[in-house]
Structure 1
């Protein structure tokens, strides 16, 4: 690959000069992340490349759908409705230091108009008096290709449920696929300082930067696999430096170390092995446990697939390599699959919600009364809601010491294709003579349950558009990926020549040679989370959850006890009969479960508060199990 980075040389061994490790930082895990990250990292001497992710399944859908709507109206794309403008807000104060310190920046932020964002960023860099060069990557918008394949009968089997898209019941309006890191490497090789993608896969910015720096070939699968996992660990910024970490009470909160978490830096070596660190003199933590927590987030099983490589996680190792420094090795590389993931968006209609507060006794009966009265008020309109749920969140404390302890939330959640009955069409207000969701919810208050109290802010009861989302696979040969260089040239990125077809289902097994029940001695009934760490997340409607033990002794108990039937039992009412897949990572004392199609359709359309699957783990850690008493005697997490 041309365009090798400057100042990358390390030690000389005989006639060969090894490249030093490349420092790749993660500056953003979403549109809401702290805006100062790029400016701070652009001054950091340990950082060569700053990566960031502003995209998610949620904004992919509404950005893509908005683009289609504008095109249908003959309007031009471009502007802040087309891309994630918060990236530009974060970039502007950093531009002088990026230029002065010759940093590289690679981001997922272009959404549905990557070119418009790139041209705006190029103009801003010029206006700032710098010579920074901007490139952008296209090919993720596969709406036309998917439409064509659907017309030819392609089934696009759902990844969570293996159902054909023809059974979905929704009309696709746009589609985006996930791109790998090779395009990033080519863009950097042209001399670009800032590279903008629309839907690179989460770990691809870091993977591409490492490919460029170390000049790896597309068949260097061991190196690529390690860099892919490095990208996975830093792509959600401070998740890996203490965010969402189940050891937060003792290691962060009790030490008053729970603010200003440092953004992570992956030092990726020429072999692919790497260390995770963070900005100096910042809050948060980099420990084996904090890094392992992020590893377990949103993985799907033994194999972590990307367009450029597949990483096998079964033998991964992590060691504390110094203060705030964790070394990662043992990842096995395989060729990538011949396919990549594609997200297909449909307009679902409109949704709204209304809340009541229930206090004290007879909570279920009060909920039933609200439901019966509301449905009766709807009359024949009830059939126009394809989703209508009445859900109580929380439970009153026994003999509560104050009113807050005695009060729970009742959420009425509705979805419909008819905007007029949800205050989103011709009737946008809630008035006595307007038949609408909010009116049907509130009009029964004076004949309501004891203490009937509605939430007085009606804004959530006014309907807003929502989207349905379908995740499937698309052959990489159907993608036309291109790098658009700052000097006007266009580089085609070919699909990988070496691929490997993997089964649709990940490998699944119970533990080998489990300890005999009871062999660990006396037990005490207590919450699993008193001694077990964990993490969970989502991919479409799949939820994943991983657990890890504090030491080798507790690992033997955990792997022997936490079986698929045990997890089904612990899920209790949350288990809806879906497939559960299990695998172990013994070197890090972790066991992982993939709960297929567990979430209600995913973040875009779910009726659940746990829209991102992040609370699945905390629910399971709260469940009481028989724990060896001597483990509890060591202290709680």
Structure 2
């Protein structure tokens, strides 16, 4: 068991993150582990669609990032952990071994398996496992489409097992994002699956650094005060033996690590104070942050409890095709022009497409100073079960230049969509975790089972706490833009969007609580037609809202322009509310 803290450096927060991240980490401050997170629900959907067309099911981008550094990784003894294996971690591990051999170095590669349960869906159904949809409760058999991929969210002990067996590089498929940190921490410190408090601390640190520059000023409401925002650096977590941690970054890189940048990521993509993970249930309401020094935020010991008895499973199926384009109209009478466009397209496409959505984005300025201040973009999208009917879309749009609204135009420098592309829908379900065959496969083919917690949580232990509405006077000060006194971060959880809003200082915490009640949130966010679930995090001075159903069936299939709800927090901050006296 190690005595010093483990230093884990993130090198990716999503597929498409800055390509030079591994270069920067290797040139930066020393770390023990490089951790790359490449998967999201929408990314798995894209990989599933690509695999159907015969393309690799893993992330080749990550392979190319690592390859130039293999000799130096071997020389320094750095471990690498990544979920870039996607739908084919074994295939990525094999390709890594070929590249390591070509580089003439010695590095052992293992992969984690057991998340892929697609081939077992029929057996689960036959054995009475309904895999009911987490939001609707409908059983998977009633979906009406044929799945093409199904992956369970595994914890970190497959990774820990592979590292303990001597692996230098561990490739996984669908583990939880935080497991990429919790697994190495469990290996380093010799934790067992029953060390729930320590694991909860590591999961918390993993949740903070899993999204790369999210923790160093990226996508942060206070971006104007972040130094080096041209290239904010990637974060590092220093994880101690009790699970407490310090979040920092490479000293020479841009960005910053403050209590607020860490708070932003803590509130990202959660469903409430109980953060359910395969390794532990994290009590996020026990998390306390402190600024330990420049670019160093300490996360004190975190309370954990046993993990849930079930694992989340992401199932994907093709549900048809879509095609879209962007048009522009110019004031005056934008509303009338949009309505004419909508009616003309319906006339040509009705009966051929399943959905036609025409969405104007923004409002033209009154008495505009420039043409662009008078111009409103219009996103047009159509869907159909088959691709062929959607081939009418481009000609229908193109026919309106001389017979549509006055000033009809598109961006003449942008290519026009002519061919439809697949739509993949996401089905979130739960499955008894005892049914999963979570294991590591070493470079010699040896299969080593991942250990499991001796106890899982009861329903009462898993239930989110109920927070009553604040018993405080309704604010009645002069109107103020909510964002002048708060920060926010929004994300997605399947068909739900979440947004955390917090007061940077204690002087505005009671005002925020009283301002952002459930009823007031419904008024401020009229698009959120479903229920709003509200929680408070007093230690973070944060109000957290789950907007149920805002994202339809999930990011991969809904037709919103802000497909996965990333700008909902900023939209809320733009609202005017009664200020504090």
TM range (shorter): over 0.9
Residue deviations 1:518-540 (CA, integer Å, cap 9, x gap):
5xxx6121211111111000021
Alignment of 1:521-560 (within 5 A): 523-560=477-514
1:517 Cα deviation after fit: 2.5
Which of the residues 349, 356, 375 maps onto 1:388?
356
| Alpha-carbon distance in 2 for matches of 1:561, 1:270 | 40
The alignment's TM-score, normalised by the length of structure 1, stands at 0.88
Q: How many residues align?
A: 579
Residues 1:366 and 2:366 are matched in the alignment: no
Q: Partner of 1:610 in structure 2?
A: 562
Query: Post-superposition shift, 1:621?
Result: 0.6
- CA shift for structure 1 position 269: 0.5
Q: Which runs of 5+ in 2 are unaligned?
A: none
Taking the aligned partners of 2:576 and 2:395, their CA distance within structure 1 comes to 42
CA distance in 2, matches of 1:170, 1:274: 45
Residues 1:146 and 1:497: Cα distance change in structure 2 (over 3 Å):
farther
Tell me the secondary structure at the aligned position of residue 620 of structure 1.
helix
| Alignment correspondent of 2:243 | 272
1:506 paired with 2:464, answer yes
Q: 1:384 to 1:330 in 2, by over 3 A?
A: farther
C-alpha separation in 1, matches of 2:427 and 2:445? 35
Structure 1 residue 34, shift from structure 2 partner: 1.7
CA deviation map 1:450-507 (0-9, x unaligned): 2122445553242011211111111111211221112331112254331013368633
1:258 aligns with 2:211: no
Query: Are residues 162 and 568 of structure 1, via their aligned partners in 2, closer, same or farther at CA, if it must alter by over 3 Å?
Result: farther
Alignment match of 1:101 (pick from 76, 97, 102): 76
Q: State the match for 2:571 in structure 1.
A: 619
Give matches, 1:342-357, under 5 Å. 342-357=313-328
2:163 pairs with 1:182: no
Q: Conserved in 1, the CA contact under 8 Å of 2:80 and 2:170?
A: yes
Give the CA deviation at 1:166.
Answer: 4.6
Q: Is the 8 A contact 1:53 1:202 kept in 2?
A: yes
TM-score (norm: length of structure 2): 0.96
Change (3 A) 1:167 1:567: farther
With over 3 angstroms needed to count, the CA separation of the structure-2 counterparts of 1:163 and 1:566, relative to structure 1, is farther
The aligned counterpart of 2:254 is 283
Determine the structure 1 residue equivalent to 2:409: 453
Q: Distance in 2 between matches of 1:169 and 1:540?
A: 19
Tell me the SS of whatever aligns to 1:566: helix
Which range moved further: 491-500 or 386-395? 491-500
For 2:389 and 2:503, locate their aligned partners in 1 and report how far apart those are by CA, in whole Å. 51
Alignment CA distance shift 1:38-1:355 (3 Å): closer
Q: Structure 1 stretch 393-402 or stretch 595-604: which is displaced more?
A: 595-604
Q: Are the counterparts in 2 of residues 68 and 174 from structure 1 also a CA contact under 8 Å?
A: no
Per the alignment, residue 595 of structure 1 pairs with 547
Give me the CA root mean square deviation. 1.8
> Structure 1 pair 34/65, CA: closer, same or farther in 2 (3 Å)?
closer
Secondary structure class of the residue paired with 2:570? helix
Is 1:412 the counterpart of 2:380 in the alignment?
yes
Inter-partner Cα distance in structure 2 for 1:306 and 1:442: 50
Are 2:346 and 2:356, in contact at CA under 8 Å, matched by a contact in 1?
no
Choose from 363, 367, 388 the match for 1:399: 367
Aligned to 2:207: 232
1:38 to 7, 22, 34: 22
Identify which of 376, 389, 394 aligns with 1:438. 394
Structure 1 counterpart of 2:312, from 341, 344, 349: 341
Matches of 2:122 and 2:50 in 1, distance apart? Answer: 17
Point out the structure with max Rg over C-alpha: 1
Structure 1 runs of 4+ aligned residues shifted over 6 Å read: none
> Which shifted more, 257-266 or 143-152?
143-152
- Of residues 486, 501, 505, the one that matches 2:443 is 486
Residue 48 (structure 1) aligns with = 32
- 1:354 CA drift (Å): 2.6
CA distance in 2, matches of 1:591, 1:161: 26
Distance in structure 1 (CA, Å) of the matches to 2:142 and 2:497: 22
2 CA distance for matches of 1:554 and 1:135? 50
Per-residue CA shift, 1:47-91, capped at 9, x if unaligned? 111111111112212323444665xxxxxxxxx622101111110
The worse-fitting range, judged by mean Cα deviation, of 529-538 and 41-50 is 41-50
Q: Contact (CA 8 Å) 2:198, 2:301: kept in 1 or not?
A: no
In structure 1, how many angstroms separate the alpha carbons of the residues matched to 2:545 and 2:279?
A: 25
Counterpart Cα distance in 1 of 2:144 and 2:338: 31
Pick closer, same or farther for the CA change 1:495–1:384 going to 2, 3 Å: farther
SS for the counterpart of 1:618 is: helix
Q: How does 1:19-98 map to 2 (within 5 A)?
A: 19-44=3-28, 46-67=30-51, 81-98=56-73
1:45 CA displacement: 5.0
Contact 2:34-2:79 within 8 A present in 1 as well: yes
Change (3 A) 1:414 1:523: same
Give the secondary structure class of the aligned counterpart of 2:509: helix
Q: Which runs of 5+ in 1 are unaligned?
A: 9-18, 71-79, 424-435, 630-637
- For 1:340 and 1:311, the matched residues in 2 are separated by 15
Name the CA shift for 1:363/1:155 in 2 (closer, same or farther; >3 Å): farther
